[in-house]
Chain A
Amino acid sequence: MASSCSQALKQHVCKSSTILRVHLQKSWPKRSFVLNSAADQQPAVSSPEEIVIPKKKTWSKEAVLQALASTVSRDPTASDYRLQDDPYLTPKTSSEFKLFSLSQESGKNAAKYFINTYPKYFQKDYAQPHIPCLMPETLEAQIEEVSEAALIERIHMRKVKAAVDLYDQLQQAGTPVSLDVTNQLLDLICFYGDSDPAQENSDEMAQENTLSYHKRSPCLVFSFRENNNAERIFALLSEPNTHSYSALIRGMVKYGAYSKAFSTYTDLLNNRLKADVNTFNALITAAPEVKEKYNEKWELIVDLLKELAEQKIKPNLLTLNGVLKALRRCGTLGKSQAFPVLSEMKALSIGPLKTHSHAFPIMLCSAGAPFLGQTDILQEVMNEVSGKSFTPQDPDDGICLLLQRCLLTKDIEQAYSVHELLGVGENWRLLGNDLQQNIYYARFFSLLCMMENIDVMLKWYRDLVPSVYYPSSNIMRDLLQALDTDNRLDLIPQIWKGDRGKVIMSWTATSLSDVISVLLAAQRRQDAWEILKLFKTHNRVPSEELLNKFLTCVTESGEVNHAVELVQISAGFCLPETPKLIQRVQQEFQLSEQQK
């Protein structure tokens, strides 16, 4: 009876579970776990007859690496990935960091020199598949005879002087050189300014000399001489076309010959040729240099823009950025004109406001910032750009300008949103090179010191130092001040220890005296004594006011021995203060005979 009952029970349970399962399967939607690229795929159709084969996913070669990278975030306790993980080899300041990374780069350059000078030892190829970047480079031009192909090769290898010589040889030999190749040659000359480029071996160098047509060469050693090669070759051209004119004009603007650029532009118009966007960009950049007064500058720019419109050329981001930059030079007039320009940009859907085309018009803010003094612009921009990923297109783009704006207005919320922006996607590139990064973090820290309380401050400190940022002395001073005001001087050892580790810090007189005054203020007299002794060991001289302060502190505590020791120390240093100190001690203490 029991068995039959249990059997009936079992059957009942089985039936009910199957019913439950069927119901559940019907009610739950079909879940499919897909990764981002397949998000728009159609899920499988539920009817049993049709089987829909899903589309084949193609992954890029680095997909696995990117997926792995997305699981890892920055380690705040480690220093930069380029450096070795050892206390002796870790930098403590940003100048040390730069020194170490540059010395590593120069070691690499030395190795590359050997590899390229003696290539026969590095020819054996173990790697399958072949790795081309690990083979020695051929730096000499291969094709020797005087021909157009040789000229093209030299242009590709960026040998300016050799290319020009070869071109002259070709002209003398009478071989016609095609217009395309001549245009390429003109581009090369105007880009490098008629001299061979310095060997761009290291990334550091390349970062600092961001070569672009819009940035003037920092050391104008070469200025567009009267009879230089570019103009000479240009004159030899029988029928220069748009490209040749544009190359020449851009070269002139890059190297400072602004008026010549404008005269070449008038030549272009006289020849009834059309200019292209890049030429106009160059001319707009050059416009503020040519005229003196603000309204003349603005009129020139307006004229150029009108001609741009007449020739039915679409302005791109760089055009409008150039206009904004030029407006900065236009003073008060620029303020009124900036807004219409911005609305133009919106209308033309350039920039992040309409499309997702990746460009970040920081010029918007930096141009707006000194003029308008309104925070709502910043707010608007931040609302628009938050959560989106950008790639910097204009080399002057930089996020530290945004942060400067926040600093000026002391707006901590904005600063946080700006910092968050850096975390999205590719935006870390907006930080720029090391110098810009330093400036950005210095501003961030000073804002934090000013506005936030000490716990938040320390949290950020632990997060950013020393992996990303090495605080300079004024930031450390701000930090100490903030600690002082908050009466949290006990936190100093934490910061100090984290900073210095086991390395012997080189004490300077001022830093020692600062530390002593801080410790005295915190009533830690014992520690202050020990540090005073350090003065002797490190051959530094304490200042007078420090000794006075110390004496006041000692008198409060009433320690006669300490006072006498203090006088002895100052006598040891032969300070002029010594007699005064002796007087004070004699007045304020009852000294025994021995102590006198």
Chain B
Amino acid sequence: MATSLVRQTKLLSIVSSQLNPAACFRNIHCTAACLKNRAARIREGKGDKSVTYEQAYHPHHIGHRKGWLSQHTSNLQGEDGAAERVVEDVFIRRFMYGTFHGCLADEVVIKRRGNLLVICAVMIQKLLPSKFYFLIGYTEELLSHFYKCPVKIEMQTVEEKVVYKYL
């Protein structure tokens, strides 16, 4: 089916070029839009946009200059459950973003050790420590009951967002 489609496209382009030899080639775009060149990249601008280290380096630097944001063993050979882990991670990131609204200084790192789910977050010192502890207790309890596994939060605070460079 794919080969016939490609052949059809070629035919179509040949026909159209023959009809109008001076026109540029218009091809049919027949794959889904992946935009692999634009994911997780902040484009260079005027120089007033501050970016963190995580945001400054592009996805091809993962493993070279950046670490992984989510650590689990489902991607090893013979292990399953990778898709479920991804869905859980997405939910956890949104949950953290909403619960600690405006306090997150950087992306949340999620580590899985056996049954234990460790959420490592860097926060800005925007709230009082007692309020932080309230939200920590709430998050740990709710996520433990939701995912039926122990959930621990390891939090670190900074005074303001750590800027790596300005783009």
Contacts and interface: CB of A to CB of B under 8 A. Distances in A.
B75 interface: no
Contacts of A134: 144-145, 148-149
B79 interface: no
Interface residues of B, number: 26
> Which of B130, B135, B139, B155 has the most chain A CB atoms inside 10 A of its CB?
B130
B133 A89 contact: yes
Given A108-B141, A115-B142, A126-B147, A100 B135 contact: no
Interface SS of chain A = helix
Contact of B148 (A96, A108, A127): A127
A84 B130 contact: no
B148 A126 contact: yes
B138 A108 contact: yes
A136 interface: yes
A107 B134 contact: yes
A131 B148 contact: yes
A88 B134 contact: no
Interface in B124-158: 125, 129-142, 144-149, 153-157
Contacts, number: 82
Given A99-B130, A126-B149, A114 B142 contact: yes
Contacts of B155: 84, 86, 89
A106 B145 contact: no
Contact of B136 (A84, A112, A121): A84
A111 B134 contact: no
B133 A100 contact: yes
Interface in A63-119: 83-86, 88-89, 91, 96, 99-101, 103-108, 110-112, 114-115
Contacts of A126: 147-149
Interface in A115-173: 115, 121-122, 125-127, 131, 134-136
30 contacts: A83-B133, A84-B132, A84-B153, A84-B156, A86-B157, A89-B129, A89-B132, A89-B157, A100-B133, A103-B134, A104-B133, A104-B136, A104-B137, A105-B137, A106-B134, A107-B133, A107-B139, A107-B141, A108-B137, A110-B138, A111-B139, A111-B142, A115-B141, A125-B148, A126-B148, A126-B149, A127-B149, A131-B148, A134-B145, A134-B149
Interface of B: 125, 129-142, 144-149, 153-157
Q: Which 4 A-B pairs have the closest CB atoms?
A: A107-B137, A111-B141, A107-B138, A104-B137
